[in-house]
Amino acid sequence: MSESEAQWRAWYDREAPEDEPIPCDYERSMSAVERLLMVRCWRPERAVHEAHKYIGECLGRQYVTERCELDLATLAHDGHCRSPLVGLISAAADPTSGIEAAAKKLKIGECRRQSSPSCRSAAALCVCRVFLRASVRRC
């Protein structure tokens, strides 16, 4: 890389380097996951875009959506108390309305809103309560 610093700098400085070939013909010898890791190492803020490309190429475009609305009530209904549920909430996400709608649909009661720096944690705990109450009913 030090021998081709100008090429790497040009790639790094691009607005969307994930849409450009990796410098020095690395592109030909890299797998999709290696490319994802390369973008993640050099430009972490662009990793999500590259991850979308990776998922689309490896699993299929049907698994990549720009906006995915998850029906929490259906998920809670289909789940089981012995089935783990793992949810990832991005920094910009606000799942509050979806959680409240699921609680209402499942007739679980209300989720109290909390305003604090840890409001994402509070939202996650409310989701846990909603799913726990829904799954306990069936176990």
**pLDDT tens readout for residues 34-59:** 999 999 999 998 888 898 889 888 88
How far apart, in whole angstroms, are the C-alpha atoms of residue 115 and residue 119?
A: 6
Domain ranges of the chain: 2-63, 72-136
The one-letter amino acid code at 75 reads L
How far apart, in whole angstroms, are the C-alpha atoms of residue 64 and residue 21?
A: 22
pLDDT at 87: 62
- How far is residue 44 CA from its own chain's centroid? 14
| DSSP summary character for residue 116 | S
Residue, of 81 and 1, whose pLDDT is higher: 1
For residue 9, name the pLDDT band (cuts at 50, 70, 90): very high
